[in-house]
């Protein structure tokens, strides 16, 4: 089992040290950075990195909020928990508008932060699983020809082969051949799994809500 990874960015060394100590005692792996540049230059960080990111808002150089607004989408598996010693309603609003998982003001409530991190790590695992599922479905459906995609869209709407033939100006035999080819490429032998997988593809292709759900 992979040890959960937490990425911590804060220009205050004392906060990095104290937070890292507390989180590591819970069995979490922590990598800390003094600023955005150091984080982005780290070779262990990539668009496929999972875990969660603890990010200070006000730092020298690029601020945490600017990074969230401009760059965070490049790290889709990382829920971002923002921290600040100077919180305002406007900062909080902007953070959530740009996908922050949660927003904490300093001094931090360690118990609330730990609960939030635990939820964020679960969310990251879910995002990773869904990304893997999406990539698999995209690969399967990419095998279809443009004409087969047209036939598929009508199939999942419930149209018969005869209706599809009329809609696409095909012979019924050709429509049936396309239907059979779709089943073969998708490795199914009935319409039900085609409809289910197509629906999953549409759902997973939609942008995922990134803000933490309050209970």
Q: What pLDDT was estimated at residue 89?
A: 84
Q: Is residue 137 part of a domain?
A: no
Kindly state whether residues 12 and 109 are assigned to the same domain: yes
Q: Is residue 134 part of a domain?
A: no
Kindly state whether residues 30 and 95 are assigned to the same domain: yes
- Residue ending a domain, among 126, 156, 182, is 126
Kindly state whether residues 82 and 188 are assigned to the same domain: no
Q: What is the DSSP string of the chain?
A: -PPPEEEEE-S-HHHHHHHHHHHHTTT-EEEEESSHHHHHH-TT--TT--SEEEEESS-SSS-HHHHHHHTGGG-TT--EEEEESS--HHHHHHHHHTT-SEEEESSP-HHHHHHHHHHHHHHHHHHHHHHHHHHHHHHHHTTS-HHHHHHHHHHHTT--HHHHHHHTT--HHHHHHHHHHHHHHHT-SSHHHHHHHHHHHHHHHSPPP-SPPP-
Name 81's bridge partners.
Answer: 54, 102
Q: Is residue 211 part of a domain?
A: no
Q: Is residue 82 part of a domain?
A: yes
Kindly state whether residues 153 and 107 are assigned to the same domain: no
Kindly state whether residues 38 and 82 are assigned to the same domain: yes
- 34 Cβ contact partners less than 8 Å away, ≥ 6 residues apart: 9, 10, 11, 13, 16
Q: Is residue 212 part of a domain?
A: no
Length of the chain as a residue count: 215
Kindly state whether residues 113 and 9 are assigned to the same domain: yes
Q: What is the pTM of this model?
A: 0.83
Q: What pLDDT was estimated at residue 126?
A: 93
What is the domain range of residue 197? 143-205
CATH (domain of 43): 3.40.50.2300
The first and second tokens of residue 33, run together, are: 């950075």
Taking only the tens place, the pLDDT of each residue in 148-175 is 999 999 999 999 989 999 999 999 999 9
Kindly state whether residues 122 and 152 are assigned to the same domain: no
Q: What pLDDT was estimated at residue 87?
A: 74
Kindly state whether residues 34 and 104 are assigned to the same domain: yes
- 25 Cβ contact partners less than 8 Å away, ≥ 6 residues apart: none
Question: Exposure of 125 by Cβ count < 10 A (0-12 exposed, 13-18 middle, 19+ buried)?
Answer: middle
Kindly state whether residues 121 and 39 are assigned to the same domain: yes
Q: Is residue 15 part of a domain?
A: yes
Q: What pLDDT was estimated at residue 214?
A: 59
Q: Is residue 94 part of a domain?
A: yes
Q: Is residue 96 part of a domain?
A: yes
Segments in the chain below pLDDT 50:
none
Kindly state whether residues 18 and 52 are assigned to the same domain: yes
Q: Which of 172, 133, 119, 108 is nearest to 6 (CA)?
A: 119
> How many Cα atoms occupy the beta-carbon half-sphere of 120 within 13 Å?
29
């Amino acid at each position: 089992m992979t040890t959960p990874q937490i990425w911590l960015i804060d220009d205050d060394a004392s906060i990095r040290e104290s937070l890292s100590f507390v989180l590591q005692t819970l069995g979490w792996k922590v990598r800390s950075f003094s600023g955005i540049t150091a984080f982005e230059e780290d070779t262990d960080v990539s668009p496929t990195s999972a875990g969660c990111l603890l990010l200070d808002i006000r730092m020298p150089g690029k601020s945490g909020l600017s990074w969230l607004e401009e760059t965070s989408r490049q790290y889709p598996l990382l829920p971002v928990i923002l921290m600040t010693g100077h919180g305002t309603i406007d900062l909080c609003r902007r953070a959530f508008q740009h996908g922050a998982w949660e927003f904490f003001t300093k001094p931090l409530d360690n118990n609330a932060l730990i609960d939030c991190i635990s939820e964020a790590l679960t969310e990251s695992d879910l995002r990773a699983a869904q990304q893997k599922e999406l990539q698999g479905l995209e690969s399967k459906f990419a095998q279809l020809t443009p004409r087969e995609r047209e036939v598929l869209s009508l199939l999942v709407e419930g149209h018969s082969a005869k209706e599809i033939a009329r809609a696409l100006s095909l012979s019924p035999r050709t429509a049936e051949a396309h239907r059979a080819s779709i089943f073969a490429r998708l490795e199914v032998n009935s319409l039900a799994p085609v409809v289910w997988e197509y629906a999953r593809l549409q759902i997973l292709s939609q942008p995922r809500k990134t803000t933490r759900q309050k209970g």
